[in-house]
Amino acid sequence: MLTAVKPFNFYRQLLNILETPGAAQTPILVLVDGYQREIIHLTKLFKLDVLLHRPQGEKGSATLLNMHFRFSTHNVFNFFPEAKKAIILEDDLLLSPDFLSFFQQTAWLLDEDPTIGSVNAFSINSFPEVASDPTVLRRVELFPQFGWLVRREWAEDIYEAWIPERAEEIYEAWIPERETADWDWWLFKEVPRKRRDTLVPEVSRVIHAGSSGAHVTGYVQEDFFNHMVYNEDPYVTLRNLENLTKERYEDLFRREILRAATLNLTSSPCDGPILPEDQPGPFKLFVEIRTRDDEYESFYVMQACLHAYPEEAREVFRGVLRYNLQGRLLYVVGCPLSPYCSMYSDGYRFLRPSPWLVDSASQASREWQTRNYPPYFVERRRAVSPEEEFRMENLLYVYHKGKGVYRKSA
């Protein structure tokens, strides 16, 4: 359990995990970034093992988090020398009742298939419109995120990995101390990832419940994470785990796309239902996307219009996005990015991204995200003094909500 300056979050999560079936048989190590008196006292009260990390980096900086994750993933295996795997858990998460069962059911896959880097408890697309089956896991090209299971070999490999071309030197695969990027995106780079995939559930086993972190404000928490769903059934049996090994998954994935009914989009996917009413699916459609980094990309449009995570398409497998639309599967194949781009007939009309299409998708997504917001809300800038904060004199803008549009006034 990783924590720092939020004893309430830590205490809330500690009670949460101790109530989870399997907790009594699971050793817990608390890794604290700096001496935090309240958290230390809590660990003593609950008789938990604890390691203190001397903070590295300025308060609020990416370095502070990066170095604490590095310290934690390395030292949990030093502390438990017989452990073959460990769950890394940030303190601003709430856990599903089958959180530990989920990892017990999937742990063998890390031994069976070295091309799996981690098992995540969290899915960025765990929204009710596009995810509903808690028994399903998927392979995606992603980094560890929000509660994840890794092998000892992964942690050792990430901590210091050999570059074949420079075998006489040791290359630190973890993000350097003064690098301003975040640790998770750094691990997505090809050298540390080594083309390993991540397993993610269709429906998350954690939900993000913090609104004052380095990256998540109260606005972001309300705008994104509060719309997500997570599993609340303590007795879920995961299905078809044997099909998640690389060769079997790629074969079944290809066959599923091949048999899926082809759809043609003649307008924006935000204009209405895109699946035929009386067909069970699965379905596939092809969109133009050349790289994962396209400025105006069709993946973004699909994410926004289908009410998945609207910021970016993270859970991509071999150039394909998968959605569960109320029980019917849709595969969105990005071309020419994906190796599955040959599965369409001559004359197929691709969805092609454009600034107009991206803007309209952004507006549709904004209306969905803010549908339960009050008629207006206030944005405040960072206060220059405690007195200004206390008097709430740091008003920046009032946003008025009308016809789905936010009008900004001083």
How far apart, in whole angstroms, are the C-alpha atoms of residue 372 and residue 375? 9
Residue 89 in contact with residue 178, Cβ under 8 Å? no
- Whether residue 394 sits in one domain with residue 274: no
- Whether residue 113 sits in one domain with residue 70: yes
- Whether residue 208 sits in one domain with residue 284: no
| Number of structural domains the chain divides into | 3
Tokens 């995939």 label which residue? 197
Amino acid at 169: E
Q: What is the pLDDT of residue 84?
A: 94
- Whether residue 398 sits in one domain with residue 273: no
pLDDT in tens, 137-156: 999 998 888 999 999 888 77
Q: How far is CA 365 from CA 12, 26, 311, 386, in A?
A: 32, 41, 10, 36
- DSSP per-residue letters across 36-64: -HHHHHHHHHTT-EEEEE---S-TTSHHH
pLDDT in tens, 201-247: 999 999 987 655 556 666 666 667 778 899 999 999 999 999 999 99
Confidence of residue 405 (pLDDT cuts 50, 70, 90): very low
Give the structural domain span for 115.
Answer: 2-244
pLDDT in tens, 81-134: 999 999 999 988 999 999 999 999 999 999 999 999 999 999 999 999 999 999
How far apart, in whole angstroms, are the C-alpha atoms of residue 17 and residue 353? 44
- Whether residue 352 sits in one domain with residue 256: yes
pLDDT in tens, 159-178: 554 444 443 333 456 676 76
- Whether residue 307 sits in one domain with residue 233: no
- Whether residue 286 sits in one domain with residue 274: yes
Q: What is the pLDDT of residue 312?
A: 80
Mean pLDDT score across all residues of the chain: 83
Tokens 């990066």 label which residue? 66
Q: What is the pLDDT of residue 311?
A: 80
Q: What is the pLDDT of residue 356?
A: 86
- Whether residue 405 sits in one domain with residue 287: no
Q: What is the pLDDT of residue 109?
A: 97
- Whether residue 278 sits in one domain with residue 230: no
pLDDT in tens, 247-278: 999 999 999 999 999 998 878 888 888 899 88
Q: Which of 70-74, 179-183, 251-255 has the highest mean pLDDT?
A: 251-255
Domain boundary among 223, 244, 265: 244
Domain boundary among 185, 219, 244: 244
- Whether residue 11 sits in one domain with residue 145: yes
